[in-house]
Chains A and B, each alone.
Chain A
Amino acid sequence: MTMKLSRDGLLEHGEFWLLLFVAGVILLNWPVLAIPGFASGPFGIPWRLVYIVAVWLLMIAFAYFFDRGSS
């Protein structure tokens, strides 16, 4: 049996945004947030700050694609 996955209309589902919201809250709170430390990352910026900005940007990107896909 083969499993077929499709991204079509994924962003149109209310459940997807709920999932993204929950994922965002989990990724940007303890204990996950404690994993990236304050060691220097790219351009000497601490990994923790890089991580927060990366997750933040990821959420923005999803919202951007949702807007672009439906406009």
Chain B
Amino acid sequence: MAVPIFALGAMILYLVLLAGIARYADRQREQGRSIVSNPYVYALSLCVYCTAWTFYGSIGRAASTGLGFLPIYLGPTFGMILGWLMVRKITRISKEFRLTSISDFVSFRYGRSYAIGAIVTIFSLMVITPYVALQLNAILSSIQIMGGESDIWMGTKFLVAALLAMFCIIFGARHLDPLERHEGLVAAVAFESLVKLVAFLAAGIYITYWLFGGYSDIVQSVLKIPQYNHLINIDYPSWFSLTLISFFAMLLLPRQFHLMVVENSDESHIKKAMWLFPLYLLLINLFVPAIAGAGLLLNTPGLQDMFIISIPLANDQVLLALLVFIGGASAATAMVIVDSVAVSTMMLNELEMPHLMRFIGRGKDLPTLLLTMKRINILLVVGLAYLYSRVVQYQSLVDIGLVSFLAASQMAPAALGGLYWKKGTRQGAMVGMIGGFVLWIYTALIPSLTKVGWLSGDLANGGPFGIAFLRPTALFGLELDVWSHSAFWSLLINVFLYVLVSLMSRPTPEEAALAEGFVDVYREDKERLPAGRRAIRVGTVAELEATLARYVGEVKARSVLDADLASLNATRGTVDARQLLELWDRMERTLTGSVGPSAARLIVEEKVTVQPVMEAVRATEPKYSLRAGRIYLVPEKGYEVFTDQITHGIEGLCITSQDPEEVRQSWRFTETPIIRLTQKKACPGRCISPTNLPLLFITIKAFVESSKNSVILLDSLEGLIQENAAVVPDDEVLDFVNQLERLATGSRTRLLLPARPEFVHRPMAAELNHAENLIFSVGPMPSYLLQAFITAIISAAPEASRGDLVREVNRLLESRDLFGRFRGEPDEGASCDPDMRSNESQARRGIKVDPELRMSRRDFFTVLRRLVKAMRVVDPEVDPQRVLDDLMAKYGFSRFEFYLTPGMTYVIEEDKPRRSMEIFSELVHLGMDGLCISRYNPESLLERYEIDPQRVIWLTQRAEGPYRSVDPTNFPRLSSMITEFLSRARDPLILLEGLGYLITQSNYETLLRFIQSQRDDIALKGAILLVHIDPLSLDTKELHRLKSEMETLDAGTKKAGVEKGPELPGKT
């Protein structure tokens, strides 16, 4: 009796030692001296893979199947060979998005899917419960072997379970950590890995070289005994399938994911683990065949799994047996601790938080509640496992490890597929996993439960309803071992459904963006957050901190925020809009780490979304016909038009500075959400400060994205601009209007902007006015835009010349010459309110753009060209190309709008007119009036370049079909068509292509004369003519004469064009 009590005491002391190690590691971390952040500890922690099932079970498998235990360790070895490709990628993604469990990882990849997270968690819990029970039973069995069978040990199991649960809570749920990193726990697990290796090697050396004459002695002796001849053979299908599922298990088991990914502090540690972990696996298995053989040769009584303890005990090596017992306990406790912590986090994030979010009040102490729930989860996992272990004996659990591995493998298609395949969708992942799990239950779990007597053999042996063809162990007549059979069917169906359903379904924009973020995680130029959600989540720093504090506590929130601010080189007082945007991005990640992706999304959405709701539909026809994707300026009837739309089946959002109740009563809409623009902090309903433009924008964006057919009333843009004048930087207002325009014109919404005629820069009709180029149409936006461009160009100029440049620009801005004929004179009553002038920012920048300036889009680029040219005269070093390209992209302009000067004729040299067509199409889509004279069929131009056939004159001698055409010899006709076009176009652009054909059909001189005459017309009308030439179709002299009539445009290729643009004005 003394031995087992001694063993139990030793185990308790050992747990106390582990607690000491963990505490020491935590303290070191608090002092900034991490002992865990090194590759050796990291590699050792991964060896949690070797549980009691390895420590004891490998020997049992070796004694019954020979080398059949090895695939369980070869799989992870192969996995680590791909460590730098796969593990690093998973780690990078998880760090980037703060994913803290395998369920977070899979659910986040598929659009933060609550359902997928819940499925993964439930199955993890199902798998972990018997697996943890196995560990408890293994500890108890080893104690029983040391002390003999007795009922008194049942109490020991409870004691062990209670101790382990306590240990898990202390070191896995002592406080909330947004990153879910637990250095104490990692240190303890790494230490345990060392202990179990030392114990195993000590027992192996003793048995192999002390009791026997070495490895060869044991192996040869075993092979001489006929009843063990089968140990020579390898069951190859089983070998392969076990290798495969253990490869997946090494990546996807909750404990492996936790230690390998979540606890990883440095990606470079993976390199060390790539060889240390497989080496560990090799070493711990080195003596397995020898110990198993020795046990068989010595006819050791009891469980074959326990040979490693029973052989030393039978030879009176009590201390060695005790060491082995501690090694086994190490293997078991490490698994229980890490899995309990990992699965409890998964339960909290995936199952509880999404529901909790809906029911908890604002006054609750959330951090304490979250911690408590996590601790309860740990108790639940260990408690369930304890109850399970009470009803099932160790012998019945030996296959549980493989059943668990198979279950974990069912996550592989969704998890690993999502890592490399962008087309994998939420539906595909869900259907695939469910299909795989169903097959797993049918082909693996049912046979296992039948084997231990929990189910009758009727189903497993005879098939359902006696249909042998559907037997769980030989589905459709496929006769294999149970593991290969289950792996084959479950993974086949899983992968098949995943791929098929993914191809048949469409991802949401957010899901597609997340897929990009996962698959292209190494791409330097990718958006840091998925594009679809990039501009979401903005408020004040105080709002941000308060939101975060609710979930992680005030102290933690403050420290996280301070660290983030420091990393952005900002303070609470100086943070700008862009930094604030980044802070909110980071906050969502921090929350994802704390409460999981589903709940983090709910928290963020709670703050920003407005759900689209439809009003009761009237049985009349709508009075106003509005097209989706358009912006309308409405002088008087904004609310009337809006009400007309929302009562005819369109979902509406009303943004107003008026009292929402008054609006509702006046216009009699009940369901449609109203956002009030007010500075008041305590206002009923949904309110947004008019100066919080980013929050207002994301609210609108969230609404637009969640509705398929919507209308938005913003009353009023003018008031909004006035409120923000001198409060926020002009470019923030500009960005708001620009983003709003791009959002409205790129979606299925209609944007109604009630506006006074004086606010708009063009004559307006009484009712609806389609606003193209909003940014050039209202208030001080053109001047804000010009100011933004000039400021950026001067900022990029050499510092020494900036003062001169500012002076020159201001001189030009004040002179009428710069603006020429289109100078915006302040009409009576048309001027913007003086408050709109952001004098402060102008003074700060030194650029004085008149806020009353009115410019069309074309005028804007003319002014900009003149300014750039003048700046290059002041300082030839000014090279604004990159700045201009960035700004053009930001505001959705084409770079050619700047580089092409009205009144000029340009020649584009390329063999096929591909780039010429692209430029033409691009400019026409941006609002220029285009005419394309081409040898190509208008139908093919529509298909290839989206050029409207109405804009094409087809050079052909076969005047058939619905298209406008002209005979290539009929230059007078062509000329009159061009003249007619120029007379009616506001912003004309002509592309002439097919010169080779024209020359062939007439002659070179005629063509040259035609171009010369058109060139004059072009100059007079302020149009732009692009002429495509294939340089090889003309001889050198002809080419030179033609080119001398025109400017050369270096259009480049589409890609190269980004790097090298056309020549800048003023370049010498």
Contacts and interface: CB of A to CB of B under 8 A. Distances in A.
A29 interface: yes
B84 A14 contact: yes
Contact of B77 (A18, A43, A56): A56
A63 B80 contact: yes
B81 interface: yes
B555 interface: no
Nearest to B282: A56
B282 A25 contact: no
Contact of B217 (A20, A30, A44): A44
A17 B84 contact: yes
Contacts of A14: 84-85
A53 B282 CA distance: 8
A60 interface: yes
Given A14-B84, A53-B282, A56-B74, A43 B214 contact: yes
Nearest to A69: B271
B271 A44 contact: no
Question: Chain A interface: which size bin?
Answer: 20 to 34
A43 B223 contact: no
Contact of A25 (B214, B236, B243, B286): B243
Nearest to A15: B85
Contacts of B272: 67, 71
Contacts of A64: 275
Interface in A4-61: 14, 17-18, 20-21, 24-25, 28-30, 33-34, 38, 40, 43-46, 48-49, 52-53, 56-57, 59-61
A59 to B, nearest CB: 6
B67 A40 contact: no
Contacts of B971: none
Contacts of B217: 44
Contacts of A17: 81-82, 84-85
Given A17-B82, A59-B278, A67-B271, A40 B220 contact: yes
B275 A67 contact: yes
A43 B215 contact: yes
Contacts of B240: 29-30
A59 B67 CA distance: 19
A65 to B, nearest CB: 9
B1020 interface: no
B152 interface: no
A29 B67 contact: no
Given A29-B243, A63-B80, A66-B84, A71 B271 contact: yes
B635 interface: no
B82 A60 contact: no
B652 interface: no
B70 interface: yes
Nearest to A53: B282
Contacts of A24: 77-78, 81
Contacts of A18: 82, 85
Contacts of B282: 53, 56-57, 60
Contacts of A60: 77, 275, 278-279, 282
B219 interface: yes
B77 A49 contact: no
Given A43-B215, A59-B81, A63-B275, A71 B268 contact: yes
A60 to B, nearest CB: 5
Contacts of B236: 29-30, 33-34
Q: Which of B84, B239, B243 has the most CB of A within 10 A?
A: B84
B81 A21 contact: yes
A70 interface: yes
A30 B239 contact: yes
A39 B180 CA distance: 51
Contacts of A48: 67, 234
A49 B70 CA distance: 10
Interface string B216-251: 110110010000000010101001100100000000
B289 interface: yes
Contacts of A52: 67, 70, 74
Given A62-B81, A70-B268, 10 more contacts: A18-B82, A25-B78, A33-B234, A49-B67, A52-B70, A52-B74, A56-B77, A63-B274, A66-B275, A71-B268
Interface of A: 14, 17-18, 20-21, 24-25, 28-30, 33-34, 38, 40, 43-46, 48-49, 52-53, 56-57, 59-64, 66-67, 70-71
9 contacts: A20-B81, A21-B78, A21-B81, A44-B216, A44-B219, A49-B67, A52-B70, A60-B279, A63-B274
